[in-house]
Structures are given as C-alpha cells and as structure tokens.
Structure 1
Amino acid sequence: MSERVRRPGPSVRTRVVEHFAEREVPREDRLITEEPLEIRVRARALPPRRAWVTMRTPGHDFELAAGWLVHEGVADPGALTQVAYCTDTDLAPEQEFNVVTVTLTDAADLPHRHVSASAGSSACGVCGKDSVEDALTARTATPWSGSRPDADVVRRLPDALRERQTLFERTGGVHAAGLADADGTLLVVREDVGRHNAVDKVVGARVLAGEPAAAACLVLSGRVGFELVQKAAASGIGSIVAVGAPTSLAARLAQDAGIDLWGFTSPGRSVRYC
C-alpha cells in the first residue's frame, strides 16, 4: 500500500550549524517552504486552462488563486463559483496540492499577457505584462470613498502586523500583508515567500468569505513596488502603509489612483508620499 502524500506545510525542518567566534553550535532550524502553484481557470463546459504558475508558500492556496484572478482582471469577485485542488489523473502524487482550478460563472478570456506567458515566480508582478504602459492602464476598482487611517494609526500598523507574523517568527524568511480598517484593526493577515502572493492572499480571503475586496488600508512588511500598488488599485483599497520605501513608479501610480501612500513606517515616524 502506497504512503499517502502529505500536503506541504508552510515551513520545513532543517539541520544547521551556527558559527560563533569561539564555538560552533549544531541545532535544528526551520526554512520557509517554497513550492509551485499552478492556477487553472474553467468556465461552463470548457476544459480548464492554465492561467499562471507562481512560486508560493503552501497554505491559503484558494485565497491566493482568487485574489490573483481579481487583481489581474480575469474575473470579478462575484464570478467565482468554485475553487478546488485539481484531481487530474496525470498529476504526480507530490503535485496533488500544487494545482488549483477556479470555476467561473462565464467563459473568461485570459488577458493577452497571460496567453503566451503563464509562468511566474514568487517575486512576479509587472514582469508578466507586455509593458509598463499596459500595466498602468490595467483594470481598477471604484476608488475608496470611506475613512482612511490618520498618521497616528498609520504608525501603529506595522507593529500590529508584526505581532501576527507567525511564520516570520519561526523562519525569518517570509513577507506579510494585511488589510485594516481606518481605526487600525487588522481584518486579515497572510504571509508568503512572495510579497505579491501575500497581497493576493489577503484579498482572496475576503473574496472567498463573501466580503468586499476593498478596504481602508493595505499594510506591507517591506517595500512598495509598482505591482503592489496596482493590486491595491484593482481592489479599491484606500491607502498603503509599508515598513520600507516605495519606488518612483509606485508613488506615481498611487497618486494617479487616489491611494494614500505611506513608507518608512515605525512607531515614531512615517513618510507620506503626495
């Protein structure tokens, strides 16, 4: 009888030797898991089509797929009817939990950038698009019209996010993203080896829970790249708070999309980009 394949976990044990000036200490450590995830799209009686392949940290895979489809303009939140792991007989057992199929209410035409390029990485974003101008004109949601966090709330958000970064605490090798309301209450937090995946996961969590993709604030554990602002714009998020700096293109898109952008955020300081 063959051994049942175990679903990959978010971290794995490994043996290391820690070197100090006068001694060496062998011990056990943990590494963040990095595995591929293939996202397939199916509608009506049509066979599933590969939409994207990304490297991610296993866990919340359905949320990652749902968030990615919404951010890329492949589907509206209400068009997702089912998300499931693929059961194709030609899949190797170890890949059983690395392929997700999303069923939509209607046939979806993949954007041109995904027709010829369907493989990405944990750092993938604008690299999969035909051009920066194509990305600048990508689908965006209705701009956020509700309250946004003020400077006092903003400065508290990174520490609040850090308190819920359990995988980072164990491995030190993972990014985090969170959605918060204007008062600084975190609605959902997700971690992943890829910054973009973490953002897809938090929005996907809301979509699959029947909640709006939009929120007052997106909180990031690192810097702000253009692609992350694009995802925020696609979801209708009102502001972005980051521990690190934004890029010039990220600041440009945030201004064009009406998103408040905060960087270098700590308890004593934060920089708002106007």
Structure 2
Amino acid sequence: MNLPKPLDGAAAIHVRAGSRRAIQRVLPEEAAVAMVYDGTTHAVMMATPADIEDFALGFSLSEGIVTGQGQIASCTVVAQDQGIEARLWLTGDRAEALAARRRNLAGPVGCGLCGIDSLEQAMRPLPDLDGIGPVMTSGDIAGATDALRDWQPLHDRSRAVHAAGFLIPGKGIVLAREDVGRHNALDKLIGAMARQGLDAGQGAFVVTSRVSIEMVQKCAMAGCAVLIAVSAPTLHALRLAEGAGITLAAFARGEGFDLFSHPERLSAEVSDVA
C-alpha cells in the first residue's frame, strides 16, 4: 500500500515589506477517499491520507451504517491512481441502514452533509444523551483547546489542518486525530477510540473548528455528551445540542469559554456574578 504523504513541501515566493525571497512551505495533502461497502461505493470525501482505517470505522459509526465495530468483518485500504479506497465488508444484514444513509456526491472538506439526498437524512433523529457524561471543571473546559495543541504535529508544520481530541477530566487529552476536514478529523477520532476501546461517554470531544450540525450529529452518534470548540456554533447546531442533551462549550481559549447548553455538567466550583 503506497498512500500519498500527509504533508509535503512546495516552493513559494515570500513577499514582505517590499522584498521577496524563495522559500519552501510544508502543505497538507488531500486525497479522494472512497468508502466502499460490500463492493459498492457509498461516499467519497476529500481527506488527509493518514489514519484511513480510523476514518473508515469512525465514518461508519457516526453515519449509522454500523452500530459497533463487530459489524465490520474486514477493512482494507487500497491506494488507487485517483485516490484511496477503504473497502469494508459488513456482517449481517445492514443493507437497510446503508440505503437510508446513502450518499451519492463527493463532499468537499468544508461540509459534511454534501451528497445526502433528502432533508430527512440530513436531520436524522439523534440519541438522547441527557443524564450521562462527566462533570467538567472550568479548568478542564477552558484549557482543552490549548491542551490539544500538543497533539497537532501536522498543523505545527502546515498551519492548515483541523484536529479533534478526546479529553478525560483529570487526565487531559488522551487521543487525537488530524485532517484537512473538521468532520473527517472527528470521524478519525471516533474510529480510533472504538479500536482502542475508549468510552466516549467518559469524556469530551475537543475540536479546532466552528460547531456545525454534522459535528453535533457525530458527537451524539458516538455517545459523547460534551463538545468543546475553539470557535462558535451555528444556531442550528446549538438547537441540536440542546435537544440531544449535549453540553456545548465554545470560544474555549485561554482561561475562558462560553457555555451554550446543558450547564449541569459544569462543576459547582463556578459561581454566578451578581
């Protein structure tokens, strides 16, 4: 298997203050990754060509194609001239679930819903996570995105990829994945956690992006009741988080954050200001 490099160099001319010089920049690669189930292509996403097994499993779980790792009999990653195929073979009868979530268009990195062919599929019912999940301190949440910086080697070199990490209160970030697409990074994290047996209900997802509806959907499908982001949520994403019982914290930078939904998971050490 000869996959493209996740990062590579490119020549550029740096112009500043009236002068210019030749430089080399490290840039992230993106490749077409086809999710092929039982011999049929189900989705094609543009993604960073790394951790493809994690991506395939996480995508399968977060899209409801399977409900557990054991429903995937095998997964083979095959490099092609045009991109990469993740060839998955399912156990049992998953044809109905697969048809219900069918995608038929290539999705760009900015949108995780491109290719869905009905509004009902885009707004699918989500699990109710109310009453589960950890209690978080203000320090856990405020420092989450800074802690994730230590898990971003691709970003350190390219400044052009997103990351998603899993934070356990008292332990910090224990696992993370990177990708040019924010939803791809989260899918890779979900897949990596499933392969390592980590329970999403015991911690929080931390993401280096805005919170759009597909990020909340994937969080709910994974059973993670806390989502921490460096940027803002959309109003629709907030409504989904409220309905699914997800604690949504945004603008988590430095010592502060904004808590938008289900504040009951914030520990009592934080007091109201009169």
Alignment of 1:61-210 (within 5 A): 61-77=52-68, 78-86=70-78, 92=80, 94-95=81-82, 98-109=84-95, 110-114=98-102, 117-140=104-127, 145-183=132-170, 185-210=172-197
TM-fit CA distance, 1:55: 0.2
The residue that corresponds to 1:45 in the other structure is none
For the residues of structure 1 that align with 2:202 and 2:160, how far apart are their CA atoms? 27
- The equivalent of 1:259 in structure 2 is 246
SS in 2 for 1:127: coil
Gaps of 5+ in 2: 262-274
CA distance in 1, matches of 2:130, 2:119: 21
1:20 aligned residue = 16
- The Cα offsets for residues 116-161 of structure 1, whole Å up to 9 and x where unpaired, read as x142222232333344554333453765723232222100110110
Task: State whether residues 143 and 233 of structure 1, in contact with CA within 8 Å, keep that contact through their aligned partners in structure 2.
Answer: no
- TM-score of the two chains, using structure 1 as the length reference: 0.87
2:47 aligns with one of 35, 56, 77: 56
Q: Is the 8 A contact 2:128 2:243 kept in 1?
A: no
Q: What percentage of aligned pairs have identical amino acids?
A: 31
- Distance in structure 1 (CA, Å) of the matches to 2:74 and 2:105: 21
* Aligned 8 A contact 2:133 2:226 in 1: no
Deviates more, 1:48-57 or 1:105-114: 105-114
| Secondary structure in structure 1 of the residue aligned to 2:114 | helix
* CA distance, structure 1, for counterparts of residue 231 and residue 47 of structure 2: 22
Aligned to 2:25: 29
Contact 2:162 2:180 in 1 (8 A): yes
Matched residue of 1:148: which SS? coil
In structure 1, what is the Cα distance between the partners aligned to 2:121 and 2:188? 24
Q: CA separation of 1:6/1:81 partners in 2, compared to 1, >3 Å: closer, same or farther?
A: closer
- State the Cα deviation string for residues 226-261 of structure 1 (Å, max 9, x = none): 110000000110101100000001100101011100
| Cα distance between partner residues in 2 of 1:213 and 1:102 | 23
Secondary structure of the structure 2 residue equivalent to 1:125: coil
Pick closer, same or farther for the CA change 1:99–1:246 going to 2, 3 Å: same
Q: Is the 8 A contact 2:35 2:43 kept in 1?
A: yes
How big is the shift at 1:57? Answer: 0.4
Report if aligned partners of 1:9, 1:33 keep a CA contact under 8 Å in 2: yes
TM value normalised by structure 2: 0.87
How many correspondences in the alignment? 258
* Alpha-carbon displacement from aligned partner over 1:151-201 (angstroms, at most 9, x marks no partner): 221001101101211111100111111111123521211110001100000
RMSD: 2.1
